[in-house]
Amino acid sequence: MTDTLLHIDSSADPTADSVSRRLTARFVRAWRERHGTAGYRHRDLSATPVAPLTAAYTALGRRVEHAGFVPPAEVSALIGGPAERREWELTLPLVTELRRAHTVLLGVPMYNFSVPAALKAWIDRVTFPGAFTDPDTGASLLGGTRVIAVMARGGGYGPGTPRAAFDFQTPYLRAWFGNLGVDPGRLHLIAAELTRVDVLPRLAGLEHLAADSLAAAEDALTELARSAA
């Protein structure tokens, strides 16, 4: 079976200024060497933002929850009006992309200790009741999906650092993907730290740590891209 890659970037910066975009691009290049281009899909959440949720989305979601595990193909029958239909039209393509992907690659810069609003809007919309649940067994349809989140942080937030407790990015992504049913062993959270060492005076003297962190992230991504999904 052909592997499929869903590549999602969320940085507001262009590639020239974005560490997360450069790292996801590195993964894609290595992945294409192994798998080709046929199964590749890129979504740029900064260039094409996902619309925030409305009352119509939540109304439809509650109706679907009340009906039990309703697969996406049957949601249309529960839609109650044009506003709900519009919300579902915005949601279904994103859900379908995620369901079809064997590997999901996320570029996630740290904004204010967490994930960018652009990514959070995507997360909110795809987290639709029953969208990733097998209606017959109740099991997650994402149990075999491999997820690679590339996190870029301007400062240092690793274990033992003064700001370790400020990292709400890693536990949030781990909790969200875990709640969707992604196998913990198939969730890879890779961080490049101190990425603003060249512009923040308070980080002076940490250039070697920044270089080591970036190199480790590059090596990990290259290895993951060349391995089986």
CA triple 14-48-219, angle to 5 deg: 45
Alpha carbon distance 82, 8 (integer Å): 29
Q: Measured on CA atoms in the order 7, 10, 14, 16, is the torsion positive or negative?
A: negative
Dihedral of CA atoms 87, 88, 91, 97 in degrees, nearest 10, equals -160
Q: Binding residue per annotation — 157?
A: no
pLDDT of residue 197: 85
Q: Binding residue per annotation — 112?
A: yes
Taken in order of first residue, the domains within the chain and their CATH numbers are: 5-226 (3.40.50.360)
pLDDT of 1 over the 80 cut: no
Q: Binding residue per annotation — 227?
A: no
pLDDT of 59 over the 60 cut: yes
Whether this model's pTM surpasses 0.85 = yes
Q: Binding residue per annotation — 11?
A: yes
Which residue, among 72, 73, 8, 7, has the nearest Cα to 39 in the 3D structure? Answer: 7
Q: Binding residue per annotation — 18?
A: yes
Q: Binding residue per annotation — 140?
A: no
Predicted confidence band of residue 3 (pLDDT cuts 50, 70, 90) = confident
Q: Binding residue per annotation — 179?
A: no
pLDDT of residue 165: 96
Which residue, among 148, 131, 214, has the nearest Cα to 9 in the 3D structure? Answer: 148
Alpha carbon distance 157, 115 (integer Å): 14
